[in-house]
Amino acid sequence: TQLLEQSPQFLSIQEGENLTVYCNSSSVFSSLQWYRQEPGEGPVLLVTVVTGGEVKKLKRLTFQFGDARKDSSLHITAAQPGDTGLYLCAGAEGPGGTSYGKLTFGQGTILTVHP
């Protein structure tokens, strides 16, 4: 069974600060996704990383996939109150894997950015 350990579980920061969320596993994933979920809504896909070492940027958000495709990080620069929400990482297994077609989710990071 694949597991994704996400940390920290909670993050409470002031507007303008930087932060990093980590997602780690002992398993190799063919791709890794990051979702953001606002209270009372479903998760919304932010980005998918597929190549080891890949870095993707989405405005103030930077996503990185580890060289071995076992871990990923999300870095937010100059956080704003609008970034508040639950951030989820999720890994997909490649063809032939027992979980092919499904996602393994991390536990999530609840981010609160105070004005």
Partner 1 sequence: DVKVTQSSRYLVKRTGEKVFLECVQDMDHENMFWYRQDPGLGLRLIYFSYDVKMKEKGDIPEGYSVSREKKERFSLILESASTNQTSMYLCASSFWASSRYNEQFFGPGTRLTVL
* Footprint on this chain of partner 1 (rule: CB under 8 A): 30-31, 33, 35, 40-45, 48, 50, 88, 90, 92, 94-95, 100-103, 105-108
Nearest distance, CB of residue 91 and partner 1, angstroms: 9
DSSP symbol at 52? T
Strand partners, 71: 24
Nearest distance, CB of residue 64 and partner 1, angstroms: 17
Of 18 and 94, which has the nearer Cβ to partner 1? 94
Nearest distance, CB of residue 18 and partner 1, angstroms: 25
**Is the peptide bond prior to 8 cis by the omega test (within 30 degrees of 0)?**
yes
Of 8 and 16, which has the nearer Cβ to partner 1? 8
Of 15 and 41, which has the nearer Cβ to partner 1? 41
**Is the peptide bond prior to 39 cis by the omega test (within 30 degrees of 0)?**
no
Q: Is the sign of the CA dihedral 24, 27, 28, 31 positive or negative?
A: negative
Residue with tokens 């956080």: 79
